[in-house]
Amino acid sequence: MTDKIMAAPPKRESSRTARQQAVTLARRIGLTGNDAETAGALAQRTEIRLKNWQEQRQQNLEAVVKQAIGLAGNAVSNKELDPDWQFQFCQMAEQIHNSSMQKLWAQILATELSLPGSFGLRTLETLKGMTQREAMQFARTVAISCQLNGDPSHKVVLGYRREAGFGGFSSARQETMNLSGQGLPYSTVLTLRDLGLLFATELETGPLPAKQPMLIRCQGHTMKFVPKSARLRLRYYRFTQVGDELARLITEPANEEYCESLTKLLLDDFLPQ
């Protein structure tokens, strides 16, 4: 969804100094530079500020709803949009100024109208608190996330562990990918954890059944591997429920470089199919 969460911020026509930006903000709240210090003048400026902000909020909300109308399909839903969800959504959406983020909120509304219950209020709160930069970081993370076999939850596989076996003749081994080279430095992991999009600790699967195919689906790219032994476990970061809900909105293709690196990493202990 390059035109949504990954879109670059709009270019400014010209650079402005901090003072010029402060003057612009002052004008938005009703200050002109020759302001009388009377109670009547203060009340007038307050009225101007509130009017400007109310109009901006209305403009933001209208932009989201208009785009949602264009995205909404004709599918009939057996459930009505929850009134509390609708109220909370409107309160949050009216505060979204960035056009790229407005497109994302529009997609959420269109999805919820067709499939009520797709996005919880906690997911909306998380999205509302995200900056455009954090949204781009999350989108890059989704591009290297995987779904294992039939499990719908998103995971970022970072390597695997092989337990020792055969009375010590087969040594233990742990292989780890360099996720920084795939656009996921540890600082981003920490950011996504703080946002509640990733679980706080690294996890691993149970022992993988030997000689049984294992499917790894990465954003439409499917890979199949067969573990050579039953002593292998994949290690991964797992998305939270909020992270999984937001990940549904991102149609960015799989990171091919990550898929190639993961395949190369697994070749010693897994057979590709």
Going by C-alpha positions, the residue among 115, 112, 70, 71 that lies closest to residue 92 is: 112
Q: Yes or no: say if 149 and 215 are a contact pair by the CB < 8 Å rule.
A: yes
Residue 91 confidence (pLDDT): 95
| Per-residue pLDDT in tens (0 to 9) along the chain, 273 residues | 333 444 444 444 457 898 888 888 887 777 776 656 666 788 888 888 889 889 999 999 999 999 999 998 776 667 788 999 999 999 999 999 989 899 999 999 999 998 899 999 999 999 999 998 999 999 999 999 999 998 999 999 999 999 987 655 667 889 999 999 888 999 999 999 999 999 989 999 999 999 899 999 998 889 999 999 999 999 999 999 999 999 998 888 899 999 999 999 999 999 998
How large is the C-alpha radius of gyration of the chain? Answer: 24
Residue 170 confidence (pLDDT): 65
Q: Yes or no: say if 104 and 130 are a contact pair by the CB < 8 Å rule.
A: no
Residue 261 confidence (pLDDT): 94
CA 262 to chain centroid, in Å, comes to 22
Q: Whole-angstrom Cα distance, residue 174 to residue 232?
A: 10
Residue 15 confidence (pLDDT): 79
Q: Yes or no: say if 133 and 139 are a contact pair by the CB < 8 Å rule.
A: no
Q: Which class for 100: exposed (0-12), middle (13-18), buried (19 or more C-beta within 10 A)?
A: buried
Q: Whole-angstrom Cα distance, residue 273 to residue 260?
A: 14
Q: Which class for 126: exposed (0-12), middle (13-18), buried (19 or more C-beta within 10 A)?
A: buried
3-state DSSP assignment of residue 223: strand
Q: What is the pLDDT of residues 6-38, one digit of tens each?
A: 444 444 445 789 888 888 888 777 777 665 666
Going by C-alpha positions, the residue among 114, 91, 95, 138 that lies closest to residue 244 is: 138
For the whole model, what pTM was predicted? 0.80
Token pair of 130, please? 């995200």
**Sequence ranges of the domains in the chain:** 18-129, 134-272
**What is the identity of the amino acid at 76?**
V
The dihedral over CA atoms of 208, 214, 216, 217, expressed in degrees to the nearest 10, equals -140
Q: Yes or no: say if 198 and 240 are a contact pair by the CB < 8 Å rule.
A: yes
Q: What are phi and psi of 206, to 5 degrees?
A: -75, 175
H/E stretch holding 232 reads strand 232-238
Going by C-alpha positions, the residue among 162, 141, 133 that lies closest to residue 240 is: 141
The secondary structure of residue 252, as a DSSP letter, is P
| Sequential DSSP letters for 156-188 | EEEEEEE--BGGGTB--EEEE--GGGGT--HHH
